[in-house]
Amino acid sequence: MSELEAFRSEKDEFFRSDPHSPLLPKQRAAFGGLSYFPESPKLRLAVEVSRFPEEQEVKIQTNTGDVQTYRRFGRFKFEVGGQPAELTIFENEHGYFLPFADSLAGRETYGAGRYLEPERLPDGRFEVDFNVAYNPYCAYNERWSCPITPPENRLKVPIRAGERSFEEPKLTV
């Protein structure tokens, strides 16, 4: 079992059985696991991030109408299938945050986008591994308040890595 497969298996078990799971009890009862894209080594990146010249605080609205405050940290460029793309990394007291929506949003991936927590590497670059891109908890349960992907992080390219859209488990009667 690869490291990614083990991570996904642990996540599925958390969703299925942990009391802190975002799934409602009736969803957990029928939960068979999340849907994932196959692992894509080409979408595990170490990127140079161009820092913004000055700290830029932004308010990001959530699906429940609340607002969360972040700082725009920097932007990076990359390619997906030969197509150029770029994204902004945000930061707050919890660390780095990368919300994004790809061209598959609303069809194969969650419509409001997915999230990553990029890791800063010792050489100053960031590891951005789209294979661990995940849906916000509001994708499973509307009682959660989740930041909505800002326009600057809406991509025209598909990111076929990480979690796919959540399908509500079919309950048997």
Q: What is the pLDDT of residues 131-152, one digit of tens each?
A: 999 999 999 988 899 999 999 9
Alpha carbon 77 to its chain centroid, in Å, reads: 18
Mean pLDDT of all residues belonging to the chain: 93
pLDDT for the residue 142: 85
Q: Does residue 121 carry a pLDDT above 80?
A: yes
73-97 average pLDDT score: 96
Distances (CA, A) of 84 to 6, 55, 116, 158: 31, 26, 19, 11
User: What mean pLDDT do residues 83-87 have?
Assistant: 97
pTM recorded for the entire structure: 0.92
pLDDT at residue 14 tops 80: yes
Grouping H, G, I as helix, E, B as strand and the rest as coil, residue 95 is strand
Partners of 57 in the β-ladder = 71
Helix (H, G, I), strand (E, B) or coil at 154: strand
pLDDT (average), residues 84-93: 96
Residues 41, 46: Cα–Cα separation, whole Å? 12
Q: Which residues pair with 95 in a beta bridge?
A: 92
What is the arithmetic mean of pLDDT over 123-134?
97
Structure tokens at 140: 């499973």
**Residue 164 burial by CB count (10 A; 0-12/13-18/19+): exposed, middle or buried?**
middle
- CA–CA separation, 134 vs 24, rounded Å? 18
> Can you read off the two tokens belonging to residue 34?
């999340």
